[in-house]
Structure 1
Amino acid sequence: MATPLKVCVTGAAGQIAYSLLYQIGHGDVFGKEQPLILTLLDITPMMNALHGVVMELHDCAMTLVKEIVPTDSEEEAFRDIDVAFLVGSMPRREGMLRKDLLTANAKIFRSQGLSLDKFAKKTVKVVVVGNPANTNAMICSHFAPSIPKENFTALTRLDHNRAKAQIATRIGVRSDAVKNVVIWGNHSSTQFPDVSHATVEVEGKTLPVYEAVKDDAWIEGDFITTVQGRGAAVLKARKLSSAMSASKAVCDHVRDWWFGAPQDEWVSMAVMSDGSYGMPEGVVYSFPVRVSADCKWAIVKDLPISDFAREKMEKTAKELEEEKKTALEFLASNSS
């Protein structure tokens, strides 16, 4: 049996973690032979609920889970961890401005960045799920300077999966028949789901998505707005935010990062921008990436970009720059 991986999940008493923890413990992320130590972080008022989650994890009798550590201490949660799933964040409440959400989470992710820098392994892989995920990941990385920037990512795989499902449903094929969709930019309503480079297998033939759908107006209209607004639609219907689909997407994201994705296709990950496609450096921006078996991702380069796409990519980049400015200015004025 391999040496146990030490994996931290924050917001561990919340509804996304409730689905996510079983999938991690069952081997859906790191494989069926990889033993695990789970450290579960939440705020002090959630400790009773967290202990209930721990009881359920024990009751699942999962052979891979060797130890479970529930805690409200970042030091205990992050010490010597290999992977961090940063799920917990301050949720947006009725009447709260986006600026209020940004600043509340800026404090949380500054603290977590500092703690990761101090206590986690320098090789730790971090995926930020809690919204606003892109900017939270940027802040976390900013305050963890000894950990490589490429080790911080944010989740846009849920949007990627949503886009694939919309195309597959429209054509009448399985979702795995759709390849190489792209989510550009922010995990917000400005994101740009792009199928310009995507293909779909239909009756044994591989076709460009535009050719298979045969409805450019839908692709450049309702398809985009449906993916952009899917989270809000789920919230309106359930009175709760996406949890099952979000946890599945987190597992997809980290499994592909850990083991590599098929080299003939790419996935969408929000990563620290290096200026590719003219997008601003220093923000966490969703790009198409290829992921190799050694846990390394690389942005897919030199895809042709239409004027239609360029406008949408720049709009979401502008939002990310504004979020970064708001968050860092707030933290600079509240440095204590």
Structure 2
Amino acid sequence: MSTLALRVLVTGAAGQIAYSLLYSIAKGDVFGKDQPIALLLLDITPMMPVLEGVVMEMQDCALPLLKEIIATDKEEVAFKDLDVAILVGSMPRRDGMERKDLLKANVAIFKSQGAALDKYAKKTVKVLVVGNPANTNCLIAAKSAPSIPKQNFSCLTRLDHNRARSQVAMKCGVPATQVKNVIIWGNHSSTQYPDVHHCVVNMSGSEVPCFDAVKDDAWLKGDFITTVQQRGAAVIKARKLSSAMSAAKAICDHMRELWSGTPQGEFTSMGIYSTGNSYGVPDDLVYSFPVHIKDKTWNIVDGLAINDFSRAKMEATAKELMEERDTAVEFLGV
């Protein structure tokens, strides 16, 4: 067993995603069954009584790997010497709120948290942004932490990736584990592009291209895409709350693969900083790409054929991200 506890921050720690997430991290499902964990839990001051209840429950789980748990409303405490930062907390969109209003509120939060990472966290810290609008929040956090490599920042599109796998699996009548190499391109929003042109489905022991396995091109180019794009809204409509259990599972999947790598021959989707060198995606965006992960380092899967149908959708989501970035930068005054 490693003797040094991994220092893992979860923000928005009194919220419903964190409530589904913290147990999995502390139990060893994410960073390994022999990795001690120190959990740092950050939330806003009015949520501290609720957070104390979460701490009590974590203590009552009697988990052998959980060496320390610190609940705080202070960034200088929460961000100190971090190995991992999972930034879940953000201003939620309220009725009548324009996306621009949401961006303005969140720019301030993620500028502050990026600066706190820069000042207090280890320079090797791995940062996952979950709070929406996740891509642009991630970009602002990365820009606000100039001493930490931009490659250390990512945003969550694994939930969309899992949704896409599951839709294909249900259509084919197989477990989701038998569907691999779906891709989420672009923004974690309704413009994202779930792409199955490089996806394969294991059918009776042999890998079959997704289009051949599904045998319904109209669905794959129509309802499948809109179902994945609109899934978050559909969950809110049904539950009257946003995705929590599935979001927590996706965070665990994202961080586990970042820590231990992607399986041979498989790639996953994550929002990462674009340098303008891959698939014609403009630079200075956090854009979801297909990636391989090894030694805690992601590399974009290059050389995939992109047809005109895919190209148009990839460009549309890039356009939305550029507009979001420009609006956010305007609010920052830089």
TM-score band, normalised by the shorter chain?
A: over 0.9
Query: Does 2:128 match 1:127?
Result: yes
Name the amino acid aligned to 1:274.
T
Superposed, 1:308-323 pairs within 5 Å as: 308-323=309-324
Superposed, 1:234-273 pairs within 5 Å as: 234-273=235-274
The answer (yes or no) to whether the contact 1:263–1:291 under 8 Å persists in 2 is no
Q: Deviations over 1:145-174 (max 9, x none)?
A: 000000000000000000000000000001
User: Partners of 1:204 and 1:32 in 2: how far apart?
Assistant: 31
Aligned to 1:80: 81
Aligned to 1:277: 279
Q: Deviations over 1:225-244 (max 9, x none)?
A: 00000000000000000000
Name the amino acid aligned to 1:282.
D
Query: Does 2:333 match 1:326?
Result: no
The answer (yes or no) to whether the contact 1:74–1:112 under 8 Å persists in 2 is yes
Aligned to 2:98: 97
The answer (yes or no) to whether the contact 1:181–1:193 under 8 Å persists in 2 is yes
Superposed, 1:15-164 pairs within 5 Å as: 15-164=16-165
Name the amino acid aligned to 2:96.
G
**Percentage of matched positions with identical amino acids:** 67
Aligned to 1:222: 223
Could you tell me which runs of 5 or more consecutive residues in structure 2 were left unpaired when the two chains were aligned. Answer: none
Name the amino acid aligned to 2:68.
E
The answer (yes or no) to whether the contact 1:36–1:64 under 8 Å persists in 2 is yes
User: Partners of 1:47 and 1:19 in 2: how far apart?
Assistant: 18
Shift of 1:87: 0.4
Describe the SS at the equivalent of 1:146: coil
Q: Deviations over 1:111-163 (max 9, x none)?
A: 00000000000000000000000000000000000000000000000000000
Shift of 1:263: 2.4
Describe the SS at the equivalent of 1:67: strand
Aligned to 2:185: 184
Shift of 1:331: 1.1
Shift of 1:180: 0.3
User: Partners of 1:20 and 1:165 in 2: how far apart?
Assistant: 20
Q: Deviations over 1:274-320 (max 9, x none)?
A: 2210011010000000001x101000001110100000000000000
User: Partners of 1:326 and 1:273 in 2: how far apart?
Assistant: 18
Name the amino acid aligned to 1:251.
C
User: Partners of 2:259 and 2:122 in 1: how far apart?
Assistant: 16
Name the amino acid aligned to 1:286.
S
Shift of 1:205: 1.6
Name the amino acid aligned to 1:233.
A
Describe the SS at the equivalent of 1:34: coil
The answer (yes or no) to whether the contact 1:273–1:280 under 8 Å persists in 2 is yes
Describe the SS at the equivalent of 1:20: helix
- Aligned residue pairs: how many? 332
User: Partners of 2:104 and 2:319 in 1: how far apart?
Assistant: 18
Describe the SS at the equivalent of 2:279: helix
User: Partners of 1:299 and 1:282 in 2: how far apart?
Assistant: 16
Aligned to 2:291: 289
The answer (yes or no) to whether the contact 1:182–1:288 under 8 Å persists in 2 is yes
Describe the SS at the equivalent of 1:29: coil
Describe the SS at the equivalent of 1:277: coil
Shift of 1:204: 1.3
User: Partners of 1:209 and 1:44 in 2: how far apart?
Assistant: 49
Describe the SS at the equivalent of 1:116: helix
**Length-normalised TM-score, structure 1:** 0.98
**Length-normalised TM-score, structure 2:** 0.99
Q: Deviations over 1:186-233 (max 9, x none)?
A: 000000000000000101121000001111000000000000000000
Name the amino acid aligned to 1:155.
L
Shift of 1:264: 0.5
Runs of 4+ with >2 A deviation: none
User: Partners of 2:328 and 2:75 in 1: how far apart?
Assistant: 21
Name the amino acid aligned to 2:132.
N
User: Partners of 1:71 and 1:263 in 2: how far apart?
Assistant: 40
